[in-house]
Amino acid sequence: MTILARRLAGLLVTLLVVSLLIFTVMDLMPGDSASIMLGTSASPDTSAAMRHQLGLDLPLALRYGHWLAGIVTGDLGQSYTYGVPVAGLIAERLTVTLPLALIAVLLSLAFAIPLGALAASHRGGPFDRLASVVSQIGVAVPAFWMSLLLIMLFSTTLGLMPSGGFPGWDAGFWAAIEALLMPAVALALPQAGVLTRVTRAAVLSTMHEDFIRTARAKGLSARAVLWRHAMPNALIPILTVLGLQATFLVAGAVLVENVFNLPGLGRLAFQALSQRDLIVMQDVVLFFTALVIIINFIVDLAYLAIDPRLRRGI
């Protein structure tokens, strides 16, 4: 229990520091919310009244406290371009970004794990060469360029897929999935590149372990050795990298959502920036960052599930 409690405390401290960092950076920005809302022509009196109304004349620590208290109670403030609570806005945009990221991760895993494992078990063979090409190209091709290429091929030339936009989940499950498919493929490619490489390396290093030799000596087939003995032990590095990739997945989502004109969280961050909707920007950056930190925290906990040896301390 102590390990879990200590890690939870560490998580809370990290989240607190991140929120303070984001708040301070956003606060240092030139032009506060009042002057952005009123424009440059507002009189000093109106400006001051507005600042007072928004609570901007309070000291930094107090404003940070208010923001934090709001987050804890689920009140993330009010967007001034959309005129709605930011919490609702984030929840609404998540219905696009979350499935998009999930499909991308599943696609990349479905591709990378078998390919990486086959490359490791047939070292130097055709699968190994294919894996090496896929991982090099996957990592080098930017997701937003891949998006353009997919649109050019499947939308402009072949007319098979929608080139962008999102019909909403009300339009039916498959229509929504169809709109997310090409963006998810573009987002999955760099992940697949990295994961293929990691899977191959992880499986290769477990192949040298004693228990693999034992499994082989027992007369198990090569396939059983690979999937039942080598793979479960290779999962830890794969999971670690999957967690570390979360930050790139978020960055990719911001770009890909913009190319495909998807009303997701990444596009919201970009729109908030162009419209100077500071509170939305601040909340979305915190949300994304907290998400990355929490994903890595869950990965940490998942180690305990995968590797019973690590549980000893609890």
Partner 1 sequence: MIGAAIVGLLTAVALLSLIWTPLSPAKMQIVHKLQPPLSHGLLGTDQFGRDVLSMLMVGSWNSLSIAIGAVAIGGALGSMLGIAAAAIRGPFESLAMRACDVVFAIPPILSAMMLGAFLGQGRVMAIVAIATFMIPVFARVTLASATQAWSRDYVLAARALGNTRLAISLRHVLPNIMDQIIVQASLQLGLAILTEAGLSFLGLGLAPPAPSWGRMLADAQTYLGLAPWLAILPGLCIALAVLGFNMLGDGLRDLFDPRD
Q: Which residues bind partner 1 (CB under 8 A)?
A: 10, 13-14, 17-18, 21-22, 25-26, 28-30, 136-137, 139-142, 144-145, 148-149, 151-152, 156, 247-248, 250-251, 254-255, 258-259, 269-270, 273, 276, 281, 285, 288-289, 292-293, 296
DSSP at 309: G
**Amino acid symbol at 170:** D
Rg (CA), the chain: 24
CB of 293 to partner 1, least distance (A): 5
Q: How far is the CB of 209 from partner 1 (least distance, A)?
A: 17
Q: How far apart are CA 296 and CA 300, in angstroms?
A: 6
For residue 25, give every residue at least 6 positions away whose Cβ sits within 8 Å of its Cβ, in sequence order, or none. Answer: none
How far does CA 208 lie from the centroid of its chain? 33
Instruction: Kindly state the smallest distance separating residue 8's Cβ from partner 1, in Å.
Output: 15
The Cα–Cα gap between 245 and 190 comes to 10
- Whole-angstrom Cα distance, residue 270 to residue 184? 19
Q: Which residues pair with 85 in a beta bridge?
A: 78
Please give the Cα distance from 173 to 307 (Å, whole number).
37
DSSP sequence for 51-63? HHHHTTTS-HHHH
Q: Comparing C-alpha atoms, which of 185, 171, 143, 306 is closest to residue 238? A: 306
DSSP string, 138-162: HHHS-HHHHHHHHIIIIIIIS--S-
Q: Is the CB of 110 or the CB of 149 nearer to partner 1?
A: 149
